Amino acid sequence: MSLSYTHAHYQGSGTTEVVAVLVAITNDSARVLTVDEGKLLPNGPLMPLHRSLQAGVRQWVEEQTQHPLGYIEQLYTFVDTNRRNAAGHALVYVSYLGLVQESQLSPLSSQATWQDWHVYFPWENHLSGTPECILSHIAPALLQWAYSATDKVQQKRRCQRVRLCWGIDWNEAVADSQADGKIVNIKDINQLDIRMTDWIAEHALLRYEMLYEAGLIPESPAYQPNKFARKIELCTMIGQPMYYDHRRVIATAISRLRAKIEYRPLIFGLMPEQFSVSQLQKSVEALSGVPLHTQNFRRLIEHQNLIEPTGQSISASRGRPAKLYRFRYDMELQSLLMDSKLPKQK
């Protein structure tokens, strides 16, 4: 009943396992719990004893982290046809997202470590402007991929997808085109004048899937290490790979979190008991990966009546001390937090 994992060969007798993306925020950065030196997400076999998947994951995770999980939800179910049991059935794995409060980070098992999720997705961190890796490596490589499509239609589709997923645009003029409109050659990839237009944080999964499809990451069967125009240090540009498709699972979690945080107060599942407004903001920024407007963030939060002052305040190293707040655990707010899956009463 403890966290177990296998990576060289799948040997379970069942064909179903559960994979968890446990998220916490430490030092204003988002982290996920991993095993096997950051190469795998914690995973375990589906246990026949539990009434529901939800209940199984909850118990299983609580045993591992030694404290109750605040929030948990099912993410997505994947099939891994490379891993099959004796009868030839492909492995099915059901992924879950769980939120862990920083203050409650407690004894980890020997092999488990918390990893900043930007280790796996360096391009997702826009807190200090557009990351270099997009402009210098990823975008050029993706455009190479887009323009090397077989026909004109696919070429346009791919370009549009790049634009929408990555929020970039470029100068189409720097390209030769045939009579049928297909562009056959890009004069100089450096002259495409790639610029950021509209980065949408929630598209994290789409971006990962595009990199996968374009063969730019090692997990992909289409991977070719030399697809980048310039030589790169792999991990700092396209992130640290994981076994199987576990990076995709994290990408799914990131997308879900970023989308949901907009309209559900999930963030409180990650905060300590007391916090200042700016701590709250930094936590949201850690998840969304983009800087927020400080003044309006404060108003947004206060306007929603989700927090109440504790009376205490914290004096930062500099500047005016910040008032501390706590989340209002009213009856109504409990209900606001409720997801499609309510905590079953018994």
Partner DNA sequence: TCAAAAGTGTTATCCTTACACCCATGT
Partner DNA sequence: ACATGGGTGTAAGGATAACACTTTTGA
Cβ-proximal residues to 78 (8 Å cutoff; 6+ apart), any chain: 92, 93, 95, 245, 248, 249
| 52 counts as binding its own copies under rule CB under 8 A | yes
| Secondary structure class of 312 (helix, strand, coil) | strand
| 141 counts as binding its own copies under rule CB under 8 A | no
| 74 counts as binding its own copies under rule CB under 8 A | yes
| 340 counts as binding its own copies under rule CB under 8 A | yes
| 342 counts as binding its own copies under rule CB under 8 A | yes
Determine if residue 215 is left, alpha or beta; phi over 0 gives left, psi from -120 to 50 gives alpha, anything else beta.
Answer: left
The pair of structure tokens assigned to 183 is 């562009």
The runs of H, that is alpha helices, within the chain are 53-65, 132-133, 139-147, 152-166, 204-213, 234-238, 246-260, 277-288, 294-303, 331-337
**Interacting residue ranges for DNA, rule: CB under 7 A:** 276-278, 293-296, 298-300, 302-303, 313, 315-323
* Number of residues lying near its own copies (CB under 8 A): 47
Residue 49: C-alpha distances to residues 1, 5, 53, 116 (Å): 11, 19, 10, 34
| Shorter beta-carbon distance to DNA: residue 154 or 305 | 305
Instruction: Identify whether the C-beta of residue 133 lies closer than 8 Å to the C-beta of residue 114.
Output: no
Among DNA, its own copies, none, what binds residue 225 when CB lies within 5 to 8 Å by partner kind? none
113, 131, 120, 161: which is closest to 254 by C-alpha? 120
| 77 counts as binding its own copies under rule CB under 8 A | yes
Q: From the list 6, 26, 67, 90, which residue makes contact with its own copies (rule: CB under 8 A)?
A: 90
Among its own copies, DNA, none, what binds residue 293 when CB lies within 5 to 8 Å by partner kind? DNA
Interface pattern 212-251 for its own copies (x via CB under 8 A): -x--------------------------------------
Least distance (Å) from DNA to the CB of residue 317? 6
Among its own copies, DNA, none, what binds residue 107 when CB lies within 5 to 8 Å by partner kind? none
E-strand stretches of the chain: 16-26, 29-34, 43-45, 71-84, 90-99, 113-116, 168-169, 175-177, 183-186, 195-196, 307-314, 322-327
Of residues 280-319, which lie at the interface with its own copies (CB under 8 A)? none
Q: From the list 92, 108, 232, 292, which residue makes contact with its own copies (rule: CB under 8 A)?
A: 92
| 48 counts as binding its own copies under rule CB under 8 A | yes
The pair of structure tokens assigned to 181 is 């409109």
| Secondary structure class of 5 (helix, strand, coil) | coil
Residue ranges in contact with its own copies by CB under 8 A: 13-16, 46, 48, 50-53, 56, 74, 76-79, 81, 84, 87-90, 92, 94, 154, 156-157, 160-161, 164, 205-206, 209-210, 213, 252, 255, 331-332, 334-335, 338, 340-342, 344-345
